[in-house]
Chain A
Amino acid sequence: MPLSYDKPLTMKKEIVMESIRNFTDPSVIKEELVKLYPPKVAKKRGKAIVVNDPEEIPQVQANVRTVPGIISQRGCSYAGCKGVVLGPTRDIVNITHGPIGCSFYSWLTRRNQTRPESPEHENYMPYCFSTDMQEDHVVFGGEKKLKQAIQEAYDLFHPKAIAIFSTCPVGLIGDDVHAVAREMREKLGDCNVFGFSCEGYRGVSQSAGHHIANNGVFKHMVGRDDTVKDGKYKLNLLGEYNIGGDAFEIERLLDKCGITLVASFSGNSTVGAIENSHMADLNVIMCHRSINYMGDMMETKFGIPWMKVNFVGAESSAKSLRKIAEYFEDDELKARVEEVIAGEMPQVNAVIEEIRPRTEGKTAMLFVGGSRAHHYQDLFTELGMTTLAAGYEFAHRDDYEGRHVLPTIKIDADNKNIEELKVERDPEKYTERKSEAEIEAMKANGLEMNGYEGMMKQMEKKTFVVDDISHYESEKLIEHFKPDIFCAGIKEKYVVQKMGVPLKQLHSYDYGGPYTGFIGAVNFYRDIDRMVNNPVWKKIKAPWQTAPADGELEAEYVSQ
Chain B
Amino acid sequence: MKTAKTATQNACKLCNPLGACLAFRGIEECVPFLHGSQGCATYIRRYLISHFKEPVDIASSNFNEDTAVFGGSHNLKLGLKNVTQQYRPKVIGLATTCLSETIGDDVDMILKEYVRLFDEGEPLPNGKPLPIMIHASTPSYQGSHIDGFHAALRATVEKLAENGAKKNLLNLFPNMVSPADMRYLKEVLKDFSVPYVLLPDYSETLDGGPWAEYHRIPRGGTPVNAIRETGMAAGSIEFASTLAADKSPAHHLEENFGVPRYTMAMPIGIQQSDAFFGLLEKLSETPLPEKYGDERRRLVDAYADGHKYIFGKTAIVYGEEDLVIAMTAFLAEIGITPVLCASGGKSGQLRKRLLELVPDIEEKGGKIRDGVDFVDIEDEAKALNPDLLIGNSKGYTLSRKNNIPFIRIGFPIHDRFGGQRLHHLGYRGTQELFDRIVNTVIEQRQSSSPVGYTYM
Contact = CB atoms under 8 A, between A and B. Distances in A.
Contacts, number: 245
Tell which of B7, B59, B81 has the most Cβ of chain A within 10 Å: B7
A69 B38 contact: no
Contacts of B50: 490
B53 interface: yes
A139 B296 CA distance: 52
Interface stretch (A101-109, A424-432, A447-455): A101-109
Interface string A104-142: 111100000000000000000011111111110110000
Q: How many interface residues does chain A have, given as a range?
A: 35 or more
Contacts of A201: 37, 63-65, 67-68, 99
Nearest to A70: B82
A68 B62 contact: yes
Interface in B47-69: 47, 49-50, 53-68
A538 to B, nearest CB: 12
Contact of A494 (B49, B75, B140): B49
A491 B99 contact: no
A139 to B, nearest CB: 9
B45 interface: yes
A213 B397 CA distance: 28
B122 to A, nearest CB: 11
Interface residues of B, number: 78
Nearest to A83: B43
Contacts of B47: 105
B64 A65 contact: yes
B205 to A, nearest CB: 12
B43 A75 contact: yes
Contacts of A547: 212-214
A79 interface: yes
Tell which of A130, A131, A490, A491 has the most Cβ of chain B within 10 Å: A491
Given A95-B7, A128-B9, A134 B142 contact: yes
Contacts of B63: 168, 200-201
B141 interface: yes
A171 interface: yes
B271 to A, nearest CB: 33
Contact of B85 (A134, A206, A541, A556): A556
Given A68-B82, A475-B214, A200 B11 contact: no
B44 A131 contact: no
Contacts of B144: 100
Contact of B39 (A76, A104, A472): A76
Nearest to B208: A498
B170 interface: no
Contacts of B139: 99, 135, 138
Given A126-B397, A201-B99, A79 B42 contact: yes
A172 B99 contact: yes
Interface in B167-215: 210-214
Contacts of B60: 68-69, 71
Nearest to B77: A68
Contacts of B78: 67-69, 560
A70 B10 contact: no
Tell which of A200, A417, A556 has the most Cβ of chain B within 10 Å: A200
Given A99-B140, A101-B14, A413-B66, A472 B40 contact: no
B7 A168 contact: no
Contacts of B46: 105, 489-491
Interface stretch (A149-157, A239-247, A317-325): A149-157
B383 interface: no
A27 interface: no
Contact of B102 (A72, A95, A172): A172
A558 B102 contact: no
B11 A103 contact: yes
Contact of B79 (A69, A417, A497, A557): A69
B382 to A, nearest CB: 15
B7 A149 contact: yes
Interface in A164-203: 167-169, 171-173, 199-202
Interface string B70-81: 000001101111
A132 B17 CA distance: 15
B98 A543 contact: no
B9 A127 contact: yes
A148 interface: yes
A491 B42 contact: yes
A145 interface: yes
A209 to B, nearest CB: 9
B26 interface: no
A546 B75 CA distance: 38
A559 B6 contact: no
A547 B65 CA distance: 44
A168 B212 contact: no
A75 B76 contact: no
B260 interface: no
B448 interface: no
A70 B6 CA distance: 38
Contacts of A95: 7
Given A75-B42, A168-B98, A500-B210, A153 B4 contact: yes
A261 to B, nearest CB: 29
A548 to B, nearest CB: 10
B61 A105 contact: no
B405 interface: no
Given A79-B39, A558-B85, A69 B7 contact: no
A292 interface: no
A554 B80 CA distance: 18
A489 B45 CA distance: 11
Contacts of B17: 101
A338 B9 CA distance: 48
Given A472-B86, A547-B214, A553-B214, A168 B45 contact: no
B7 A102 contact: no
B62 A546 contact: no
A76 B42 contact: yes
B240 interface: no
A132 B8 contact: yes
A515 interface: no
Given A68-B76, A100-B15, A413-B66, 14 more contacts: A68-B75, A68-B79, A71-B59, A76-B40, A101-B14, A101-B140, A107-B394, A126-B397, A149-B7, A156-B1, A168-B102, A172-B68, A493-B49, A494-B53
23 contacts: A67-B82, A68-B60, A68-B75, A68-B78, A69-B33, A69-B60, A69-B83, A72-B38, A76-B43, A99-B15, A101-B18, A101-B40, A101-B98, A126-B397, A128-B11, A131-B7, A137-B141, A145-B6, A168-B102, A172-B99, A200-B37, A201-B64, A541-B212
Interface of A: 38, 65-79, 95, 98-107, 126-135, 137-138, 145, 148-149, 152-153, 155-156, 167-169, 171-173, 199-202, 205-206, 413-414, 417, 471-472, 475, 489-491, 493-495, 497-500, 540-541, 543, 546-547, 552-554, 556-560
